[in-house]
C-alpha cells in the first residue's frame, strides 16, 4: 500500500493533496495520530514518536497559537521517514507557504481532510485494506509457485492449510481474463464473491483471475456451475476469455489444475476463442511443457527460425501474416479477410516468408515448423505479459 492507495479508500476519497504530490508512491505500513508530540512544552524521545512509513493524522492543535511549530513538525516527520501528514482543517485551513515549500522540496505529501472524518475510522479502514492486500499478495504468490515450480505433496498440503478453507476431494480451476484488457477494475466484482465460495478460492494473478472450486465428485459439471453461479450474481462472461483445467485430486494435483487452467486460457487468447479446455489442446500440450521447462531453449529456436521475420528491418506484414496463417490453420481466404486484402496478396507474402525462413522445406515440413515456431513465439509473449 502507498499514499496513492491510501487516498483511494472510501473514507479518504475527499482528501486533497496540498503539497508533496511527487511523493505519493511512498509506502504506507501504519497510520498514527499526532497530538502534541512536536510542542516544545512536551519532552519526548523523538526516535520513538512515530514509526517509518506511517501516515500521520493530526488536527494541528499543538500549533494553535504558534504556526512556526508546523515547520519543525514537518521537518521532524521527514527525518523520521513518515510517509505523509494528513491534517483536519479545524485550526488551519491553509498551511504556511514555507511549510508547503519544505514538503514539496522533500516530496513529502501533505493531505487535507475533506470533511469531518474520524481518525479511528481512517485507521481501521486503512488496516483492513492493508490486510486484504497482504492476503491477495499471498494468494498471487502461491499461484505463481504452482505455475512455475515443481511442488511436493507436502508443499501443496502447506498451501491448503494456509488458505484455511474446507477443500473437498477434487479440484476444478478456471483462469479468466478480459478480451479487451484496459485495467483491473473488472476483477473487483469477481473477487467480492470469494467469501461466498465455501470450498474454493478466487484470486488475482497478473492480469487474470483464478477461480478454484472443489467438489466430492469427479463428475462435477464445473463449467456449467461457474456460468450459472456468475449469472446468479449478475456477472456476465460474454467479454471473458476462460481456460479450464481437467479434474484433479486436490491434495496431490493442485498445481496441475492451476497450471492447466492458466495455459488453457493463454491458448484460448492465442486462438481468439472465448473458452479452452486443457484436455482438448492435443499436441499443443507438448509445446506448453517444452516452454515451461526450458524457455531459453525455446526462444533460441524461435529466434533462429523466425529471425528473418522478427528483424527490426523486416516488413511487419510478414510476421503478422505468418501468425494469422497459423491461427487460421493455413486457410488463405480467412487470412485475407483478417488482413483486409486479396488472397493473392497473402499467397505472395507466404511465398516471401517461405523464402526467408525455409526455402528448401516441402509444404508439410514448412507448415509444421512454422506452426511450432509461431505458437511458441505467441506463448512466450503471452506468458511474459
pTM of the model: 0.69
Residue 382 contacts residue 269 (beta carbons within 8 Å) = yes
Same domain for 94 and 190? Answer: no
Residue with cell 477461480: 211
Domain annotation covers residue 127? no
Same domain for 96 and 204? Answer: no
Same domain for 277 and 297? Answer: no
CATH number reported for the structural domain that contains residue 295 in this entry: 1.10.10.2840
Residue 336 contacts residue 346 (beta carbons within 8 Å) = yes
Q: What DSSP string runs through 26-77?
A: SB--EEEEESSTT-TTS---GGGTS-TTEEEEE--GGGSS-THHHHHHHHHH
Domain annotation covers residue 23? yes
Question: What are the pLDDT tens digits along the chain (385 aa)?
Answer: 889 989 988 899 899 999 999 999 999 888 888 876 666 555 554 445 677 888 999 999 888 888 888 998 899 899 989 999 999 998 999 999 999 999 999 999 999 999 888 998 998 888 877 777 778 888 888 999 999 888 888 889 888 888 878 899 999 999 999 887 666 778 888 888 887 888 889 999 988 999 999 999 999 999 999 999 989 888 888 889 999 999 999 999 999 999 999 999 999 999 889 999 999 999 999 999 999 999 999 999 999 999 999 988 888 999 999 999 999 999 999 999 999 999 999 999 999 999 999 888 898 999 999 999 999 999 999 887 7
Boundary of a domain, candidates 230, 258, 281: 281
Same domain for 22 and 70? Answer: yes
> How many angstroms separate the CA atoms of 274 and 176, rounded?
10
Same domain for 267 and 374? Answer: no
- Total structural domains within the chain: 3
322: containing domain: 290-384
> How many angstroms separate the CA atoms of 33 and 82, rounded?
12
Boundary of a domain, candidates 259, 281, 303: 281
DSSP 8-class letter at 2 = B
Domain annotation covers residue 139? no
Same domain for 60 and 38? Answer: yes
Amino acid at each position: 500500500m502507498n499514499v496513492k492507495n491510501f487516498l483511494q479508500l472510501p473514507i479518504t476519497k475527499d482528501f486533497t493533496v496540498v503539497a508533496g504530490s511527487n511523493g505519493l508512491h511512498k509506502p504506507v505500513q501504519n497510520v498514527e495520530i499526532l497530538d502534541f508530540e512536536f510542542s516544545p512544552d512536551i519532552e519526548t524521545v523523538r526516535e520513538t514518536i512515530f514509526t517509518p512509513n506511517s501516515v500521520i493524522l493530526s488536527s494541528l492543535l499543538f500549533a494553535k497559537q504558534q504556526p512556526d511549530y508546523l515547520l519543525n513538525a514537518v521537518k521532524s516527520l521527514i527525518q523520521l521517514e513518515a510517509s505523509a501528514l494528513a491534517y483536519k482543517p479545524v485550526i488551519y485551513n491553509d498551511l504556511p507557504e514555507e511549510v508547503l515549500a519544505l514538503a514539496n522540496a522533500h516530496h513529502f505529501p501533505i493531505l487535507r481532510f475533506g470533511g469531518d472524518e474520524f481518525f479511528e475510522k481512517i485507521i481501521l479502514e486503512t488496516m483492513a485494506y492493508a490486510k486484504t492486500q497482504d492476503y491477495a499478495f499471498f494468494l498471487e504468490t502461491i499461484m505463481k509457485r504452482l505455475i512455475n515450480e515443481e511442488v511436493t505433496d507436502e508443499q501443496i498440503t502447506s498451501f491448503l492449510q494456509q488458505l484455511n478453507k474446507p477443500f473437498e476431494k477434487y479440484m476444478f480451476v478456471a483462469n479468466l481474463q478480459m478480451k479487451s484488457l484496459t485495467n483491473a477494475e473488472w476483477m473487483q466484482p469477481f473477487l467480492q464473491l470469494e467469501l461466498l465460495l465455501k470450498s474454493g478460492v478466487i484470486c488475482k494473478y497478473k492480469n487474470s483471475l483464478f477461480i478454484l472450486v472443489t467438489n466430492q465428485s469427479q463428475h462435477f459439471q464445473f463449467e456449467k456451475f461457474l456460468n450459472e453461479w456468475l449469472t446468479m450474481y449478475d456477472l456476465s462472461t460474454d467479454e471473458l476469455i476462460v481456460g479450464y483445467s481437467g479434474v484433479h485430486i486436490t491434495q496431490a494435483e493442485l498445481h496441475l489444475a492451476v497450471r492447466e487452467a492458466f495455459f488453457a486460457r493463454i491458448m484460448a487468447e492465442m486462438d481468439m476463442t472465448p473458452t479452452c479446455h486443457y484436455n482438448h489442446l492435443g499436441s499443443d500440450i507438448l509445446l506448453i511443457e517444452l516452454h515451461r521447462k526450458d524457455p531459453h531453449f525455446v526462444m533460441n529456436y524461435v529466434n533462429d527460425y523466425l529471425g528473418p521475420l522478427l528483424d527490426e528491418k523486416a516488413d511487419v506484414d510478414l510476421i503478422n501474416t505468418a501468425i494469422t496463417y497459423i491461427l487460421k490453420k493455413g486457410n488463405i481466404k480467412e487470412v485475407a479477410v483478417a488482413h483486409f486484402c486479396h488472397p493473392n496478396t497473402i499467397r505472395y507474402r507466404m511465398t516471401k516468408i517461405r523464402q526467408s525462413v525455409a526455402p528448401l522445406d516441402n509444404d508439410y515440413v514448412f507448415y509444421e515448423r512454422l506452426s511450432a515456431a509461431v505458437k511458441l513465439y505467441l506463448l512466450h509473449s503471452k506468458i511474459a505479459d
